[in-house]
Structure 1
Amino acid sequence: MYSWSSIRYKLEKEYLALSLRGRIQYFVTRYKFSHDQEGRAAILLDGKEVLRGNYYNKFFKSDLFPRDEKYSHRIRSEYSYMDEVALDLGCFDQRCFYSSFEEFDNQSIDESLKSDNLFVRIFAILDRRIGKRRLLKIREEIENEPEIIQFFYNVRVEAEHL
């Protein structure tokens, strides 16, 4: 397991596309003086949090989860199920961020682009290993993706001047 500083370094310096360096930042914190030491995580674009979540949203917003086949997994899982609903409601915390990074860091970029975990797919879209030709090639696929994936894809495309 990496420390937060080494995870942040890898995401912002080693993996992040050159065109996005300085614009995309990752934020994770743990509140060590709270009774359970839980925390929150966020992705910032130009200094503004565009994706954020914390541990307690999982419980406070649990009634907003759709009652589908993934409901029990979302509620009972130690690490939130990282789908569109969880990201929209901000039902993730620093541990979800760490586990998503670990998955991303230990697989190929192709596997990351197809992952069920939306955090992993966001990391992949912002990754320097996805070049301009590949961005153009996956444009049609992105139209069928969740809004948050489309958002980060558009940020990347705009940064690459495509």
Structure 2
Amino acid sequence: MSTWSGIRKKLENDYLCPALRDHIQYFATSYSKSADHEGRAAIRMDGVEVLRSNYYTYFENVWMKFHQLRSTTLKDCDSAKEAINQAHVYALEQGTFDQKVFYEAFDIFDNQNIEKSLVSDNPIVRIFAILDRRLGKRRLLALEESMEQELDWVRAFYVIRMQAEGLMDKQ
């Protein structure tokens, strides 16, 4: 995997649509004094963190959902792996992640075409795609109906992009 500075450069310079350049900043860090160098990640719009999360919030959501699944629907020992996988998906859908999940999302995004990224199971990958320069205005407008079914925190980036492109009034 690339370094964070390389990832950030690609996201902000190579992929980001021109209308959002110098407005969107990506941020990720790990803390050397924390266990296993855990950290946080964020996407900022004009210096304000629109989306942010950290390892501890992410892990708390994973752990809570895992125990809920194990005590209710997935009681078998064989289903522990399934429960942890579902718990990770749940935590990400809640908008919680750490810098490692952020890096993994970039790796997925960087290695597939824009069409696959727009329908990815990973909401962070979908955000990267919504903000991508390869997504033109017509295709952006065509996504409006599908955005009604999207997670609120992903839809927020659709609104940001639509406003930046002049396709939606700023509220």
Report the TM-score when normalising by structure 2: 0.82
Asked if the contact 2:44/2:51 (under 8 Å) is kept, the reply is yes
Q: SS state of the match for residue 40, structure 2? A: strand
- Given the alignment of the two structures, is residue 135 of structure 1 paired with residue 136 of structure 2, yes or no? no
Which structure dedicates a bigger proportion of its chain to helix? 2
**SS of equivalent residue, structure 2 residue 141:** helix
- Whole-Å Cα distance in 2 between the matches of residues 38 and 74 of structure 1? 22
Task: Give me the whole-angstrom Cα distance separating, in 1, the residues matched to 2:83 and 2:164.
Answer: 37
Please give the alpha-carbon distance, in whole angstroms, between the structure 2 residues aligned to 1:32 and 1:83: 24
Match of 2:36 in 1: 36
Specify the SS of the correspondent of 1:13: helix
Report the Cα distance in structure 2 between the residues aligned to 1:56 and 1:83, rounded to whole angstroms: 13
The one of 123, 127, 141 aligned to 1:122: 127
Q: Distance in 2 between matches of 1:31 and 1:129?
A: 34
Q: What are structure 1's unaligned runs of at least 5 residues? A: none
Question: Any idea what the Cα deviations from partners look like across 1:67-97, whole Å, max 9, x if unmatched?
Answer: 478753254xxxx436422x1xx2x111101
Which structure is larger by alpha-carbon Rg, 1 or 2?
2
Give the alignment's Cα RMSD to 1 decimal.
2.0
TM-score, structure 1 normalization: 0.86
The Cα of 1:160 is off from its aligned counterpart by 0.2
Q: Deviations along 1:29-64, whole A, 9 cap, x unmatched?
A: 011122321111111111011111111113334437
In structure 1, the residue matched to 2:16 is: 16
- Report the Cα distance in structure 2 between the residues aligned to 1:33 and 1:83, rounded to whole angstroms: 25
Partners of 1:3 and 1:36 in 2: CA distance = 17
Distance 2:44 2:143 in 1: 24
Q: Can you give the 5+ residue segments of structure 2 that lack an aligned partner in the other structure?
A: 75-81
1:152 aligns with 2:157: yes
Equivalenced residues, count: 154
Paired residue type of 2:2: Y
Corresponding residue of 1:45: 45
Give the structure 1 partner of residue 79 of structure 2.
Answer: none
User: Among the aligned pairs, what percent are the same residue?
Assistant: 51
Distance 1:37 1:74, change over 3 A: farther
Is 2:58–2:98's contact at 8 Å kept on the other side of the alignment?
no
User: d(CA) in 2 for partners of 1:142 and 1:58?
Assistant: 24
